[in-house]
Amino acid sequence: MFDEICPSEVVPFRIGDKWAGMIIRCLEHGPRRFSELRIPLRTITAKVLTQSLRTLERDGLILRHVHTTPVQRVEYDLTPLGRSILEPLAAMCAWTEDHWDELLDAREA
Amino acid sequence: MFDEICPSEVVPFRIGDKWAGMIIRCLEHGPRRFSELRIPLRTITAKVLTQSLRTLERDGLILRHVHTTPVQRVEYDLTPLGRSILEPLAAMCAWTEDHWDELLDAREA
DNA sequence: CAGCATCCGAAAGGATACTG
DNA sequence: CAGTATCCTTTCGGATGCTG
């Protein structure tokens, strides 16, 4: 999903905007900082990451925490609502893995 | 989902393009003709419906059958692959129903 | 560090008119 | 009936430069 070689465009599911699904997965195992998120999401720009995070925050799926001690730190974390979406998201990913070959075959033909 | 009063934009999931998920649900109970699909999808234009159907066909999720007896009839039907996507799609819809109020509350705040 | 402001190109979606 | 063709508007994502 995060690999540039991986043709993610084949995945027919999307949550929110282009990056929202991947952001949610990045937060699966605990809070992450803005700059930490930029690592797995290599090609995302700061502006677009900010946009996606704001949308997710507005929708109540993540929370934004600002720490000013001593330097600026901003952490993002899943809300219970955001965490609850991991289950249907996993179902989607499982389906995609199961039918990956069929999807690629269909594209070729 | 098909009601114009219903704020479908709140639904954070999407399959393929804007209409693909709804088209798949329209085909859930058997094949449908082009013009039949335009009824529940009231606001879709012929061009965009054609585009979405071609994409779904290319991805192997639906099949297109042309009947020329005696007038032109074109029917669309789910493939086994397309039918298998109904399950994760249902999981997504169930999640959305369960958390509908939370999503709307978050938007207001 | 974690953004915001500005500008830009590409793509998606749609309106309208026409066709085998 | 089931589309095509053409044009147009909007939206999306990104590049670049600046800031508290």
Q: What is the pLDDT of residue B10?
A: 65
User: Nearest nt to A19, CA vs C1'?
Assistant: D13
Cβ distance B102 to A85 less than 8 Å, yes or no, reads no
- Given a cut of 90, whether residue A29 has pLDDT beyond it is yes
CA-to-C1' distance for B21 and D16, Å?
Answer: 37
Q: Which two tokens stand for residue A28?
A: 């699966």
Residues of chain B with pLDDT under 70: 1-11
Q: What is the pLDDT of residue B4?
A: 45
Q: What is the pLDDT of residue A11?
A: 67
Contacts of A95 in chain B (CB under 8 A): 84-85, 87-88
Calpha distance B21→B40 (Å, rounded): 13
* Window 68-107 of A, Cβ < 8 Å to B: 81, 84-85, 87-88, 91-92, 94-95, 99, 102-103, 105-107
At A51-99, the pLDDT tens digits run 999 999 999 999 999 998 788 999 999 999 999 999 999 998 889 889 9
Query: Using an 8 Å Cβ cutoff, are B40 and B51 in contact?
Result: no
Cβ distance B61 to A12 less than 8 Å, yes or no, reads yes
Domains of chain A: 14-98 (1.10.10.10)
CA-to-C1' distance for B22 and C19, Å?
Answer: 29
Residues with CB under 7 A from strand D: A 17-19, 43-48, 51, 72; B 33-36, 46-47, 50, 53, 64, 71-74
Q: Which two tokens stand for residue A95?
A: 């389906």
At B1-26, the pLDDT tens digits run 344 444 446 667 888 888 999 999 99
CA-to-C1' distance for A102 and D3, Å?
Answer: 28
- Given a cut of 50, whether residue A1 has pLDDT beyond it is no
Query: Using an 8 Å Cβ cutoff, are A95 and B85 in contact?
Result: yes
Q: What is the pLDDT of residue B107?
A: 84
> What element of type H or E holds A26?
helix A20-26
Q: What is the pLDDT of residue A43?
A: 86
Q: How far is CA A44 from CA A14, A27, A37, B62, B69, in A?
A: 17, 16, 9, 33, 52
DSSP assignment string, A35-97: HHHTTTTTT--HHHHHHHHHHHHHTTSEEEEEEESSSEEEEEEE-HHHHHTHHHHHHHHHHHH
Residue of B34, B15, B63 whose CA lies nearest to A12: B15
Query: Using an 8 Å Cβ cutoff, are A107 and A10 in contact?
Result: yes
Q: What is the pLDDT of residue A9?
A: 60
Query: Using an 8 Å Cβ cutoff, are B23 and B31 in contact?
Result: no
